Chains A and B, each alone.
Chain A
Amino acid sequence: MLLIDCPFCGTRPETEFRCGGEAHIARPTDPSALDDGAWAEHLFVRSNPRGLHAERWIHAHGCGRWFNAVRDTYTDRFVETYKAGEQPSHPIDDARA
């Protein structure tokens, strides 16, 4: 089980959290202007890197707030957590390892 550092509550066990998938995927401001390929890219395509991955977590059984984390998907080690709306201080990998 992972230990996760909630930016609001401190370090807590993973079972208090739910993972919300890849972070920083902005919903297109004008979806109807997109063609089907661009819309599919937004809905379905994910970077899925082996390396540093920015992802969303919610402290569901704690403060109930969403935040972001950078985690190394090869070691499962958390590099940093930061509040929603902020940017990570570490460069994020794409699918390339």
Chain B
Amino acid sequence: MRRFSLASLLSEAVGGHQGWGRQWRAPEPKPSYDVVIVGGGGHGLATAYYLATVHGITNVAVVEKGWIGGGNTGRNTTIIRSNYLYDESAHLYEHALKLWEGLSQELNYNVMFSQRGVLMLAHNIHDIQSFKRHVYANRLNGIDNEWLSAEECKAFCPPLNISREARYPVLGGALQRRAGTARHDAVAWGYARGADARGVDILQNCEVTGVRRDAGGAAIGVETTRGFIGAKRVGVVAAGNTSRVMDMAGVRMPLESYPLQALVSEPVKPVFPCVVMSNAVHAYISQSDKGELVIGAGTDQYTSYSQQGGLHITNHTLDAICEIFPQFTRMRMLRSWGGIVDVTPDRSPIIGRTPVDNLFVNCGWGTGGFKATPGSGHVFAHTLATGEPHPINAPFTLDRFRTGRLIDEAAAAAVAH
């Protein structure tokens, strides 16, 4: 891997930037690997990267049916935070946030992580009580989160309308200053480049069509559109398509896949300094470095694999945005899109073993998986390398739906999907 540095930048500038070369290889599949990861999104690529760097397991393939980062990794609204209510989730997302804080240096790749702060608005008494409970719970877990009055919210985010005349007036907000955004494509590319440099094969345009099992039922590899690939262990990180891949191994999952939409405005000069979320009116918004306002809508009410959703869903979100930020009422939206998110009954992910030996799964991130990318990859790599969960992902078993030890974070989602 050629490292990015001032020296390499200067030498390439002299040479007209003709010598950078490809950032990762396009290898042919080997007959077998120690670990095959199904799904080349951020979580899968991060898993491969940490398998190579932390555990020294480099005989690894990432199998991707399309191109890396072309699914939900390239479709989300890039918000990163760790202010979750329950201890289990707080530890998981804070683990990720700590990795985010050193990620660009670790990968030698600028993921444009920006800790610009995430402000969650309260519009009614229930919001205030709930957010204050979050603030206190977070502090007990050593996670920064603070309560702001409406005036303090306005000072932190000047475009905010805190008029008492608003349909749903802003009564205050919870602010996590260490939270923020990152560039989603760069996260996939940075992990891919780092993993590839350590010997991981990234196999794009290679769709898994089956999971092969031996006579004892254990997984021994995957059938793909580029032939059979053997594996000592298989990790499924397939987001919205997890139910389909797991069904190939005969495992039925507690998952449903829903369309989740996002949209961006025309690009404008810097006007919005942070991330603002509102559960009550159902909106969240930030501004990308390109200048586009990045707006997240809710899920549709029905399951779907269509990667598109209803226009009334985005319309509803824009109504809320215009109510909170009246100055945006005349902005034009540039484009909208949808991704398919896999949602568990308790809105917490599943990371760990499955009933099939040598088959592991990392799924169920629902509407908020991007923020967890580094932490998810880190603990899943540990799980794949050792066969046992990391203490941080130990509570997030598939078996919790049988035992009843649910981690009911439904109300902690960015907006109440």
Q: B302, A41: Cβ atoms under 8 Å?
A: no
Q: How far is the CB of A92 from chain B (nearest CB, A)?
A: 13
List the B side residues contacting A48 at CB < 8 Å: 243, 253, 255-257, 303
Chain B residues whose C-beta falls within 8 Å of the C-beta of A1 in the assembled complex: 310-312
Inter-chain contact B256/A46, CB cutoff 8 Å = yes
When the two chains form their complex, are residues A21 and B256 in contact, meaning their CB atoms are under 8 A apart? yes
Residues in B whose Cβ lies below 8 Å from that of A45: 252-254, 401
Q: Does A95 contact B (CB under 8 A)?
A: yes
- The verdict on A9 contacting chain B, using a C-beta distance below 8 Å, is no
Residue in B closest to A50 when the chains form the complex, CB atoms = B305
Contact present for A40 and B244 (CB under 8 Å): no
Interface residues of B, count at CB 8 A? 27
Q: With an 8 A cutoff between CB atoms, is A47 at the interface?
A: yes
Within 8 A of B (CB), among A36-65: 36-37, 40-41, 43-50, 53, 55
**Which residue of A has the minimal Cβ distance to B252?**
A45
- Say how far B104's CB is from chain A's closest CB, in angstroms: 36
- Interfacial chain A residues near B312, Cβ < 8 Å: 1, 14-15
User: A73 — which chain B residues lie within 8 A by C-beta?
Assistant: 257, 302-306
Flag whether A96 is at the interface (Cβ < 8 A): yes
Would you mind naming 27 contact pairs between A and B with Cβ atoms under 8 Å apart? Answer: A1-B310, A1-B312, A2-B302, A14-B312, A19-B301, A21-B256, A37-B402, A41-B252, A43-B345, A45-B253, A45-B254, A46-B243, A47-B252, A49-B244, A50-B244, A55-B303, A71-B302, A73-B303, A73-B304, A73-B305, A74-B304, A74-B306, A76-B302, A94-B247, A95-B252, A96-B244, A97-B305
Chain A, interface residues (CB within 8 Å), range? 20 to 34
Distance from B117 Cβ to chain A, minimum over Cβ atoms (Å): 35
Q: How far is the CA of A55 from the CA of B301 in the complex (A)?
A: 11
Which B residues between 289 and 324 are near A, CB-CB below 8 angstroms?
A: 301-306, 308, 310-312
Minimum distance in angstroms from B345 CB to a CB of chain A: 5
Chain A residue nearest to B310 (CB atoms) is A1
For residue B386, CB closer than 8 A to chain A, the reply is no
